[in-house]
């Protein structure tokens, strides 16, 4: 489930976030308005260079999607066996970015 990154990855998640913020890399997160999603959104909102918005509860998913450059990473946060798929394809990444922008506009601030 999304929001499980710190629980599953431990200190590696914190190290990644510290490095991202040190490098001043912007991050926009869309969380689902569940108890876990609201909690994770509050954690994100405390981080520098980070913006958070929320979608209604019915949009829950077992995966997180990251789009950066010509890459897409889809991470499944299963505690017993988390795994990720990385796709390198400029056209597909542009499509994912377009979908993200549509969801960003439809999502709400807390």
Does the structure show a pLDDT above 80 at 1?
no
What pLDDT score does 59 carry?
86
Contact criterion met (CB below 8 Å) for 24 and 57: no
> What total number of domains does the chain contain?
1
Torsion angle of the four alpha carbons 79, 41, 101, 63, in this order, in degrees rounded to the nearest 10: 10
The three-state secondary structure class of 20 is helix
| Euclidean distance between CA atoms 89 and 97, whole angstroms | 12
Rg of the Cα trace of the chain? 14
Instruction: Please give the pLDDT value at position 79.
Output: 80
Give pTM, 2 decimals: 0.84
What's the rounded Cα separation, in Å, for the pair 91 and 95? Answer: 6
DSSP 36: H
Mean pLDDT over 63-89 rounds to 93
* pLDDT above 90 for 96: yes
Tell me how far apart the alpha carbons of residues 29 and 45 are, in angstroms, rounded to a whole number: 9
Please write the tens of the pLDDT for every residue from 4-35: 677 777 777 788 888 999 999 999 999 999 99
For 48, list phi and psi in degrees, rounded to 5: -70, 150
Range of the domain at 11: 5-106
């Amino acid at each position: 489930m999304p929001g499980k990154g710190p629980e599953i990855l431990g200190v590696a998640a914190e190290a990644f976030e510290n490095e991202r913020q040190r490098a001043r890399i912007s991050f926009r997160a869309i969380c689902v308005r569940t108890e876990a999603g609201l909690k994770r959104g509050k954690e994100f909102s405390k981080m520098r260079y980070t913006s958070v918005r929320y979608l209604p509860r019915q949009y829950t998913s077992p995966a997180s999607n990251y789009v950066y450059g010509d890459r897409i990473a889809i991470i499944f946060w299963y505690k017993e066996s988390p795994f990720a798929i990385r796709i390198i394809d400029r056209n597909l990444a542009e499509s994912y970015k377009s979908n993200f922008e549509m969801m960003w506009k439809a999502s709400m601030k807390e």
